[in-house]
Amino acid sequence: MSRWRLAVGAAALLVLCVPLFALWRIRGLEQAGWLAAILALAPLAIAVVRWIGGQGEAPASAEGVAAAAADLVAVVRGDWRAEAASRELLGPEPVLSVRWSAAPADLADHREVVFGRRSRRFRMDGDALRVVEALERVPTRRLVILGAPGAGKTALAVLLTLGLLEKHEEGDPVPVIFSLASWDPAEELKTWLVRRLEEDYGFLQRASRYGKDVARRLLEEGRITPILDGLDEIESSSSPLAMTALNRSSVLDGGVVLTCRMEEFRAVVESGDVLTGAAVVELEPLRPREVVEFLRKKVPHGAHAQRWEPLLAALESGADRPLAQALSVPLMVSLARTVYDSPSSDPADLTDRRRFPDKEAVEEHLLEKFVTAAFGGTASDAARAERARGRLAFLARHMDDLGSRDLRWWAIARRAPRRRAALLAGTVGGALLEALSGAGESSLTDFVDAMARSPLLGDRAVLATVCGYLFSIVLVGFLVRIAFNPHEPARLNFRFKVTKPRLGNLGWSDLRLFAGVTFGLSIPFFALAVAGDIAKSGFSANLSGSYLLGTAFGSVVASALIVSGFALVLGTVGWVAGWMFKLEPHSSASSPLSSLKDDRALAFFLSGFTALLTFLVALAGLGSETSAAGAAWRLVSALGSGVAFGLAMSAFACAWPSYTLSRLWYALRGRLPWRLMGFLEEAHARGVLRRIGSIYQFRHARLQGRLVQDAANPGGP
């Protein structure tokens, strides 16, 4: 230990011991004993948390890694089968399939690098069912899937994932889909992949079953095949950096699948590099004959089929080139089915060349009508469908403002007007907190005493009222400001912070934090103490140097007492939360609804348990009063402190409070429904949204873009 650290430690010990000695000389042994007990309990609580937090978290063994891989196979298979069924990618027939073939040679690495010496024997083409075979034929197990917007790249990635899982044997890598929309290439790829695994498949954090950091071990040992969907969804200026990061990442040595739009991938290659050692295939456009056969099998017999005949005839004859071009990708075929599913609609409208002179006009029409058709269908549903469209447009604009394709429920708060909400809640809640809380106990008590002895509109009464009210507004406003700051779902984050051994590695940085908070808190305490004495005794108070020095010294002691008491509360709450909220293996991956429920449960626990502990610590720290009025004051002060810190703890650690406040704010304004999560679940069931782990995305980036236009249009919904 260096000399300066030893000196700082001795000085800190002196700062703690001298006030105890002075308090013993002035107030007696009882008050000094209370202070010493609380100051001693905080380090003791931290030591207990350090010891317990480090137990039972041995590094993941080979058996733990194998068990995690086996559990991951079952979870990924079950979840993506359900998602594929909702997207109508699986049987029973008919299923609209796409064909693929080798992309232009200038978009891929040298053929000898990809296939080795036997490169001439391999021919890359086939349909969706043969994509697994194509990946297995590539020695590097690296594949890039290119295509036009809506061509079915993500759908093919899902089918590839399910195909690999059907053939999976023990020891094989597990295919896992990751949406690249949430990756910033400035962050190391492995770090991002580990975080996505732990958030989307939270059971991997169960150290008692698998060992510590099993997600990282799975990646480092090649037990995961990342299916990276949507390189084109990364900001174009960052795409070359992303390709460089992919080529340098060691976690992709065992294989990787990458999807991207054709034009964007060509731009990346021209400005940077290809994906080293990867075969590159391109999705082919649908032929009119394939679309006609698919629609004839999908449309029921009778009147429904007759409505579609003019459109099918135009496709078969090749007379309507814009229509055939628009329906050459699976996305537009699916949108057309939904838009014209209602018996009151007429698919023949799409053959009107005056309304739809080109491919873009057909596509824009289908994108515009899709959401209303998905939520409507009958005339009675029209108003409800328009409301749904307006709400989805608001969410699309929110995502666009964040520069993301991911709809995270906990990020809704990022659009909330935090300053106005904090001011409003601070004004309303400040008066309540002022009445309940004994914040700044002795000084504010002086204010109350001065008010009682002063005329109703005396200067001292005004000073007391203004100071107490402003203090309450600042405190409650600060809590609301915290509550409107978006967090990640707390079940994962809080568990991560509580149980990782680094919590036990408390050192000089923690001591500096303690000292900084203590002395920072002593400044307002000193100001309140001086102001309180002025309010009580008038401006003729003896503000001598010894008085100011004593007041400053007492403020430091009071601050250390409060900070130590809060450390005791925080350490105890953290340990109990880490013990109670252990992650168990799930039957499925973390969904948006399940992550919301987990976070809400932890928020209720943290607020209640923290409020209880703070109440007890504050009750002990406020001393003893024999009179009924004094006892009531202690009780109300401790209760107010408990409520304030309980709400602050849940708002700081969890996402549910900020989500709830923001959701209610926008529901009152009519921008979002009261039951937002239920609405999102319905949108997913109707095919407007797709689900990837704990996040939603719009079915396609073009649909999100269209809704953003609606939100920006003053005449729109």
Instruction: Tell me if residue 446 falls in helix, strand or coil.
Output: helix
The residue ranking higher by pLDDT, 286 or 445, is: 286
Distances, alpha carbon 650 to alpha carbons 110, 178, 474, 497, 658, in Å: 55, 30, 18, 15, 10
Instruction: Check residue 623 and give its pLDDT.
Output: 53
Instruction: Check residue 647 and give its pLDDT.
Output: 77
pLDDT-based confidence at 335, cuts 50/70/90?
Answer: very high
CA distance 601 to 595: 10
| Averaged pLDDT for residues 567-585 | 52
CA distance 315 to 326: 11
Instruction: Tell me if residue 614 falls in helix, strand or coil.
Output: helix
The residue ranking higher by pLDDT, 27 or 240, is: 240
CA distance 165 to 701: 27
Instruction: Check residue 413 and give its pLDDT.
Output: 78
Q: What burial letters (b/e) apply to 607-638, b meaning 16+ CB within 10 Å?
A: bebbbebbbebbbebbeeeeeeeeeebbeebb
Instruction: Check residue 33 and give its pLDDT.
Output: 44
Q: For residue range 145-169, list pLDDT tens digits in order.
A: 999 999 999 999 999 999 999 999 9
Check pLDDT > 50 for residue 130. Answer: yes
CA angle 224/225/230 to nearest 5° reads 125
CA distance 352 to 322: 10
CA distance 485 to 418: 8
Instruction: Check residue 428 and give its pLDDT.
Output: 45
The residue ranking higher by pLDDT, 666 or 493, is: 666
Check pLDDT > 80 for residue 517. Answer: no
Taken in order of first residue, the domains within the chain and their CATH numbers are 62-283 (3.40.50), 288-377 (no CATH), 412-654 (no CATH)
Which spans in 249-381 are helix H? 262-271, 288-298, 303-317, 321-326, 330-339, 359-375
- In 3-state terms, the chain is what percent helix, strand and coil (to 5)? 70, 5, 25
Q: For residue range 338-351, list pLDDT tens digits in order.
A: 999 888 889 999 99
Structure tokens of 450?
A: 């001065």
The residue ranking higher by pLDDT, 54 or 614, is: 614
Mean pLDDT of the chain: 73
| Averaged pLDDT for residues 322-334 | 92
| Averaged pLDDT for residues 383-389 | 89
CA distance 258 to 132: 14
Of the candidates 361, 447, 371, 435, which has an alpha carbon nearest to the alpha carbon of residue 636?
435
Check pLDDT > 70 for residue 475. Answer: no
Structure tokens of 483?
A: 């509550």
pTM, whole model, 2 decimals?
Answer: 0.72
CA distance 637 to 173: 59
DSSP states of 141-208 as a string? Answer: -EEEEEESTTSSHHHHHHHHHHHHHHT--TTSPEEEEEEGGG--TTS-HHHHHHHHHHHHTGGGG-HH
CA distance 255 to 225: 6
Check pLDDT > 80 for residue 380. Answer: no
Residue for token pair 């042994």: 29
Q: For residue range 13-54, list pLDDT tens digits in order.
A: 444 454 544 444 444 444 444 444 444 444 444 444 444 444
pLDDT-based confidence at 530, cuts 50/70/90?
Answer: very low
Cα Rg for the chain, rounded, in angstroms?
A: 32
By mean pLDDT, which of 82-86, 222-226, 259-263, 430-434 is the weakest?
430-434
Q: Which residues pair with 178 in a beta bridge?
A: 228
CB 590 within 8 A of CB 201: yes
CA angle 450/562/514 to nearest 5° reads 135
pLDDT-based confidence at 565, cuts 50/70/90?
Answer: low
Work out the percent of the chain whose per-residue pLDDT is above 90.
Answer: 31
pLDDT-based confidence at 522, cuts 50/70/90?
Answer: very low
Residue for token pair 């103490």: 529
DSSP states of 74-140 as a string? Answer: HHHHHHHHHHHHHTT-SSSSP----EEEEPPGGGS--HHHHHGGGGGG---EEEGGGHHHHHHHSTT
Instruction: Check residue 5 and give its pLDDT.
Output: 46
The residue ranking higher by pLDDT, 713 or 478, is: 713
DSSP states of 378-444 as a string? Answer: SGGGHHHHHHHHHHHHHHHHHHHHTT-S-B-GGGGGGGS-HHHHHHHHHHHHHHHHHHH--TTHHHH
Instruction: Check residue 73 and give its pLDDT.
Output: 94
CB 318 within 8 A of CB 295: no
Instruction: Check residue 72 and give its pLDDT.
Output: 94
| Region of 281 on the Ramachandran plot (φ > 0 left; ψ -120 to 50 alpha; else beta) | beta
How many helices (H) and strands (E) the chain has is answered by 28, 9
Check pLDDT > 50 for residue 264. Answer: yes
| Averaged pLDDT for residues 241-263 | 93
Instruction: Check residue 58 and give its pLDDT.
Output: 72
CA distance 219 to 256: 12
Instruction: Check residue 377 and give its pLDDT.
Output: 61
CA distance 441 to 457: 23
CA distance 438 to 635: 9
- Burial (0-12, 13-18, 19+ Cβ within 10 Å), 68: buried
Check pLDDT > 60 for residue 480. Answer: no
Q: What is the DSSP letter of 674?
A: S
Given strand 142-147, what is the order of strands in its sheet? 125-127, 99-102, 279-283, 142-147, 256-261, 224-229, 174-179
Q: What is the DSSP letter of 695?
A: E
pLDDT-based confidence at 489, cuts 50/70/90?
Answer: low
CA distance 156 to 98: 8
| Averaged pLDDT for residues 498-526 | 42
Q: How many CA atoms lie within 13 A of 676 on its CB side?
A: 26
Amino acid residing at 132: V
Work out the percent of the chain whose per-residue pLDDT is above 70.
Answer: 61
By mean pLDDT, which of 197-206, 252-261, 302-311, 624-633 is the weakest?
624-633
Q: For residue range 646-700, list pLDDT tens digits in order.
A: 777 777 778 888 888 888 989 998 899 999 999 999 999 999 999 888 889 999 9
Instruction: Check residue 618 and give its pLDDT.
Output: 64
Instruction: Check residue 662 and give its pLDDT.
Output: 87
pLDDT-based confidence at 617, cuts 50/70/90?
Answer: low
